[in-house]
Amino acid sequence: MPPTVKRLVWLSVILLVGGFMVSNYFEKRSKEEAEATQARKLEETTRSAVAAMVARTNALDSWGTTLSNGMPDRVEPVLTVELQRLWLQGRPILFVGSVKDIAIRDDTYYDVLIKSSLWGRPQFITDVQLSLRGEREKVDSFLKDHPDLFGAYGFNNGVAVVAMIQTIRTDSIRDAAGDREDVKIGEGNLVEILYTGQTFF
């Protein structure tokens, strides 16, 4: 094969490979942008649904900001009296966290344990949880709608709950290092529950 023909063949191959790589790059980028746009829309829809739930139930959603003095984190321990003043006002509260456990209480109700998680803001050094009595029909319907709630190593179980808190207790548990730490647990009734997935608030 003459040198000129060889060069043309090689040039054609290079152009084909280069064109494929460029096309593949833009296709991948377009797909990533579409996925990012879809994720943003889902987050906006989720936040709107939570806001509507808060308005519908007249839930207190500012207690976390009050506890943290408007900061994104609070490094001082949370006292029971602080939660009592905020949670026991005769209004339900909004709590963003994740489902830790569900247990049968009786033929009509479950015990639903909700823990604070990375999805909610602000973050507290004190572990804050809710132990709620939830109607079995309501909880079963929620679980049916979200069968993969505990998938992805527990990163899919974000929820927003509206709860009427009646009492607050303190439990002492051991952390991974074996040290004891306090857990503040609000006990009451589950009013509403909404799946939020990996949406940050």
pLDDT above 60: residue 61 = yes
Q: How confident is the model at residue 141, as a pLDDT?
A: 96
Q: How confident is the model at residue 168, as a pLDDT?
A: 97
Going by C-beta distance under 8 Å and a sequence separation of 6 or more, which residues neighbour residue 192? 53, 56, 57, 161, 162
Half-sphere exposure of 26 (CA within 13 A, CB side): 5
What average pLDDT does range 19-40 have in this prediction?
63
Q: How confident is the model at residue 1, as a pLDDT?
A: 59
pLDDT bracket for residue 99 (50, 70, 90): very high
> Does residue 38 sit in the same domain as residue 14?
yes
> Does residue 115 sit in the same domain as residue 191?
yes
What average pLDDT does range 169-195 have in this prediction?
89
Going by C-beta distance under 8 Å and a sequence separation of 6 or more, which residues neighbour residue 110? 102, 103, 104, 133, 134, 135, 136, 139
What average pLDDT does range 7-35 have in this prediction?
65
Q: How far apart, in whole angstroms, are the C-alpha atoms of residue 57 and residue 91?
A: 9
> Does residue 65 sit in the same domain as residue 159?
yes
> Does residue 37 sit in the same domain as residue 105?
no
What is the tens place of the pLDDT at every residue in 108-152?
Answer: 999 999 999 887 888 999 999 999 999 999 999 999 999 888 876
pLDDT above 80: residue 11 = no
Going by C-beta distance under 8 Å and a sequence separation of 6 or more, which residues neighbour residue 7? none
Q: How far apart, in whole angstroms, are the C-alpha atoms of residue 53 and residue 31?
A: 33
> Is 200 part of a structural domain of the chain?
no
Q: How confident is the model at residue 57, as a pLDDT?
A: 97
> Is 201 part of a structural domain of the chain?
no
> Is 138 part of a structural domain of the chain?
yes
What average pLDDT does range 165-194 have in this prediction?
90
> Does residue 122 sit in the same domain as residue 172?
yes
Lowest mean pLDDT among 34-38, 57-61, 62-66: 34-38
Count of domains in the chain? 2
pLDDT above 90: residue 173 = no
> Does residue 42 sit in the same domain as residue 118?
no
What percent of the chain lies above the pLDDT cut of 90?
60
